[in-house]
Structure 1
Amino acid sequence: MAANFFNNKARAAAAAASSSSKSKPVEGKDDQRQHQPWVEKYRPRTLGDVAAQDHTTKVLQRTLQASNLPHMLFYGPPGTGKTSTILALAKSLFGPALYRARILELNASDDRGIGIVREKIKGFARSQLTHPTGLDEEYLSKYPCPPFKIVILDEADSMTQDAQSALRRTMEQYSRITRFCLVCNYVTRIIEPLASRCSKFRFKSLDNSAAGERLAEIAKLENLNLEDGVIDKLIYCSEGDLRRAITYLQSAGRLVGAGREAGKKDGDEDSEMTDSSSNLITVRSIEEIAGVIPEDVVDRLIQAMQPKKIGSSYGPVSTVITDIVADGWSATQLVGQLYRRIVYNDSIPDIQKNKIVMAFSEMDKRLVDGSDEHLSILDLALRISGIMGES
């Protein structure tokens, strides 16, 4: 009797647990959407959503209408919409029902050897097309569903030379039922036989207006309160990389959101009164998140580098750079900001700029090779000071 009682109790508990576990994913779907990174949350869903790449999207819209694609090569700086464009195109071609069966997406920075080409890519490319069953006419009228598959190779410039050579043969052999899209940052790292088989699309860095509109739209949808100049600072810090700008914006939004929640938790009247002001995302907060060195610090360094009529500039320069290193600022970031401030300064003669640029390029290589940051910045600043002191 007791055994039956405990068995029934265990069964009831198991049934309750299974029913609750089934209901959890349904409840968590919106929650998962809410907590995913904004880069994925606001990724373009259609070709019309892709910002500032009008020429590429127009050509792809026409190929979409014809339902016939060539092999494609997308190249350009990071964060300009290359992967988003091909994913949006694939979804527009096949729709949700056929997307998984017809699309193979690989990141070549992980799977970059010849074995991946011979096994995974070749196996998918030569597999015969399965005719869609159960798709109504409405679905087929909305999505063309052309008779070929698409292989998307992201970061294709990371593939080895042997892997690219093997891929060339696969592209030739199965071009009737498979199209390839190579996505890369540096087109010069793609071997010429592979590049010549593809229609090339160059993605340029986003201009300020297009990136600003997109960031302002995201800020509005997320109910963010932005200080004047935040959008411009995001564009400046991201250097044309919209993905990086959106990530900075999300970090700033989480930062003020955490402060607001902490203020509400205390329950003080003072915290509630200052809540509206703490909700503001400032230019300074964006600079801190992006690791940008404040302009007054760069101004102090430039002032210290000015050639002296009497004595050496070593003392003032060394003092400023010691403070910069002690504050933990990145040497690479300092070199980039110093470069823009000096090279675009019209008061410095072009002959001196020539020598300064050579010093910057040499210093950049040293930092990449892993040299000491303190000594490298000190050497660069003193060399620039010496060049500017030449008559």
Structure 2
Amino acid sequence: MLWVDKHRPTQLDKLDFHPELTQQLKRMTSEEAVGNMSHLLFYGPSGAGKKTRVMALLREIYGPGVEKMKVEVRNFKFKSNNVELTFIGSNYHIELNPSDVGPYRDREVAQEVIKEIAQSHAPSTAAGGLFKVIVLNEVDKMSRDAQAALRRTMEKYTSSCRFVLVCNNACKVIEPVRSRCIAIRVPAPAKGDVKKVLQAVCNKERTPLPEGLAERVAVAANRNMRRALLMVEACKVKQSNLSEDQEVEVADWERFVGIIANNVLEEQTPQRLLQVRAQVYELLSACIPPEMVMQRLTMELLKKLDDSLKPEVLLCAAFYEHRLNLGSKPIFHIEAFVAKVMAAYKKWSIEFMEMMDD
């Protein structure tokens, strides 16, 4: 089992950072408040601990039985198409990701599947038998139509169900859904918190973690706790005794994005654009999220570009990332971004050479 799963806190009292947020969740699960608990919206950056806090919250309400989860795969028929959905749940809650079925079918999931779950699953005897919890992941990736359908379902089944929505960006959740939830922001942990958790996990694994290595991992992880733990475990796999000057392991796809950035700036031709398109498509085929590819590629390009070009590249990145979120073919928008950067860099290179000649 990976360290990130093995040492995941399961109780609110055992959470390592954001104590003020922990106290807020404890007040919500008190005997006086739990009966009036509203729908919840947890939002914050990846690796901040949103899902960990959701599961700790459910355990505080229902007890250890919420950890006895099972995976269920069910087929649903919409018109002429069959859709396969994976559920993870216990006797007290059900967890699913509506955006897994794609941007065109998530509305049907919100209308039919979630409605069926809300109708067919009776409230548990725990917590006074008041409600059952439905946890929806990546709500910000659902289409607007699906979110509108979700709003109607939330209103209709408030008496028997509570919805816990989890997302990275609350701005991508429509206002009618946000207004029906208590929004709980889970900020990224500070660098000191990351180092403290890394030291605690390594102590449990009886693996001394040098201070210098912990510092470099915390910086490289960019305040992402999950990523930091995976990095330390990768270092441990590579070298059983961690050393002060050990190299921090970086994901292969991130190195590959660095190669793509070099290819973009080495040559600006249609042939090179086709080569870069194939490399980007290889990343997407390996299930790397297109948003992460776009962000990482932008950061790698900014490291290598002249300061006068950076504002234009950032503007292009923002424009095409927005188009990426609205569209359904990520490769088109990432390729358009690369082509725009190539054109801007080619123009800058020609102007720079002319200026040098003068």
Output the TM-score relative to the length of structure 1: 0.61
Which of 174, 180, 183 pairs up with 2:157? Answer: 174
1:12 — aligned with what?
Answer: none
Q: Where do 1:170-319 residues align within 5 Å?
A: 170-257=153-240, 279-281=241-243, 283-288=245-250
Alpha-carbon separation, structure 1, partners of 2:156 and 2:317: 48
Alpha-carbon separation, structure 1, partners of 2:149 and 2:8: 32
Which of 14, 17, 32 pairs up with 1:49? Answer: 14
In structure 2, the CA distance between the partners of 1:334 and 1:382, relative to structure 1 (3 Å rule), is farther
Q: What amino acid maps onto 1:119 in structure 2?
A: E
Query: How much has 1:318 moved relative to structure 2?
Result: 6.3
Q: What amino acid maps onto 2:230 in structure 1?
A: T
2:94 — aligned with what?
Answer: 104
Alpha-carbon separation, structure 2, partners of 1:340 and 1:78: 23
CA contact (8 A) 1:74 1:200 kept: yes
1:348 — aligned with what?
Answer: none
Query: How much has 1:172 moved relative to structure 2?
Result: 0.8
CA contact (8 A) 1:224 1:281 kept: no
CA contact (8 A) 2:231 2:248 kept: yes
2:115 — aligned with what?
Answer: 122
Instruction: Please list every run of 5 or more consecutive structure 2 residues that lacks an aligned counterpart in the other structure.
Output: 68-89, 268-275, 280-292, 322-330
CA contact (8 A) 1:107 1:154 kept: yes
**RMSD value over aligned CA atoms?**
4.0
Q: What amino acid maps onto 2:91 in structure 1?
A: A
Matched, 1:67 2:67: no
In structure 2, the CA distance between the partners of 1:363 and 1:79, relative to structure 1 (3 Å rule), is closer
* Secondary structure, aligned partner of 1:77: coil
2:47 — aligned with what?
Answer: 79
Query: How much has 1:336 moved relative to structure 2?
Result: 2.3
Alpha-carbon separation, structure 2, partners of 1:290 and 1:145: 49
Query: How much has 1:129 moved relative to structure 2?
Result: 3.2
Matched, 1:336 2:329: no
Alpha-carbon separation, structure 2, partners of 1:209 and 1:199: 29
Alpha-carbon separation, structure 1, partners of 2:308 and 2:17: 34
Matched, 1:162 2:145: yes
Number of aligned residue pairs = 285
1:370 — aligned with what?
Answer: 335
Instruction: Please list every run of 5 or more consecutive structure 1 residues that lacks an aligned counterpart in the other structure.
Output: 1-35, 133-142, 258-278, 302-316, 320-324, 343-351
CA contact (8 A) 2:151 2:176 kept: yes
Matched, 1:89 2:63: no
Alpha-carbon separation, structure 2, partners of 1:280 and 1:378: 45
Output the TM-score relative to the length of structure 2: 0.66
Query: How much has 1:287 moved relative to structure 2?
Result: 4.7
Which of 295, 311, 317 pairs up with 1:357? Answer: 311
* Secondary structure, aligned partner of 2:162: strand
Structure showing greater Rg: 1
Alpha-carbon separation, structure 2, partners of 1:85 and 1:214: 16
Identity of aligned residues (%): 27
Alpha-carbon separation, structure 1, partners of 2:229 and 2:157: 39
Relative to its length, the structure with more helix (as a share) is: 1
Query: How much has 1:337 moved relative to structure 2?
Result: 5.8
Query: How much has 1:340 moved relative to structure 2?
Result: 6.8
Relative to its length, the structure with more strand (as a share) is: 2
Alpha-carbon separation, structure 2, partners of 1:292 and 1:164: 32
Query: How much has 1:224 moved relative to structure 2?
Result: 2.4
CA contact (8 A) 2:217 2:248 kept: yes
